[in-house]
Structure 1
């Protein structure tokens, strides 16, 4: 994980406005949503794993399912994860179902981030700031 400085941090924005603007820039809802916070993710790379620019936010007025919800953005960051090559060392059959766990443990769940992705992410972040803060 690599934190990034941003003009978005601590800004309050209507969630529906942020969603529409960010989806038009290629962001999608990230995993890990809760009742009071969530993420917008921009996929930068997915060849040997994935690298995302993540814009975290938390609710300051309303609830995530409501139309007029207001969110505050937290510090954006880059998130990288490398897939394990080959079979998972911990894979095994389930005791009751006889099914196999087909998902590999990550090789590096907090992988280092290539400088080229940092540079690209900063450009995407500036574009998002310009669209959301004007």
Structure 2
């Protein structure tokens, strides 16, 4: 994990219903592990084979629940996360199935859910650039 301090987004407030479409148009989506009172907007900065680098924007719900458009929340400090997943066939015969064979198994355990990010300056810059593309939403 690599933090990206950003005075532009940190501490900003928004209503979920007012920003969700504009965020999705820019490639930011609520990740699958959201809760009613906290979540992350994830944006893929890089994806190649089994490696994905995500820009993650934490949000903390101050009023309402996140499954509603009137949820009011605050952004926390963005960070980068590198995720490594299996790209080959599972080595344990007990876990092997047809989805593994054709590469569609979506529930494999990651090799490393928080791998070290190389070239930190490059990825911090890429993350900040992606955050800056959100500027029109807040003006």
Does TM-score exceed 0.5, indicating one fold? Answer: yes
User: TM class, shorter-chain normalised?
Assistant: 0.7 to 0.9
Mapped to 2, the partners of 1:50 and 1:18 lie a distance apart of 25
- Which string of whole-angstrom CA distances, capped at 9 and with x for unpartnered residues, describes residues 72-124 of structure 1? 1111111111124655566735xxxxx99965432222112233333211111
Query: How many residues in Structure 1 have an aligned counterpart in Structure 2?
Result: 130
RMSD: 2.6
2:16 alignment partner in structure 1: 15
Q: SS at 2:57's partner residue?
A: strand
Find 2:109's aligned residue among 93, 102, 105.
105
- Which string of whole-angstrom CA distances, capped at 9 and with x for unpartnered residues, describes residues 13-56 of structure 1? 11112212211212122121111111111111221321111111
1:96 alignment partner in structure 2: none
Unaligned runs of 5+ in 1: 94-98
1:4 alignment partner in structure 2: 4
Q: TM-score, normalised by structure 1?
A: 0.79
> Within 5 Å, which residues of 2 pair with 1:30-49?
30-47=31-48, 48-49=50-51
Aligned in 2, Cα 1:2/1:67: closer, same or farther, shift over 3 Å?
same
Mean Cα displacement is larger for which, 24-33 or 104-113?
Answer: 104-113
Find 2:118's aligned residue among 100, 114, 120.
114
Q: SS at 1:123's partner residue?
A: helix
Instruction: Answer yes or no: is 1:59 the counterpart of 2:61.
Output: yes
Mapped to 1, the partners of 2:82 and 2:70 lie a distance apart of 33
* Structure with a larger share of its residues in helix: 2
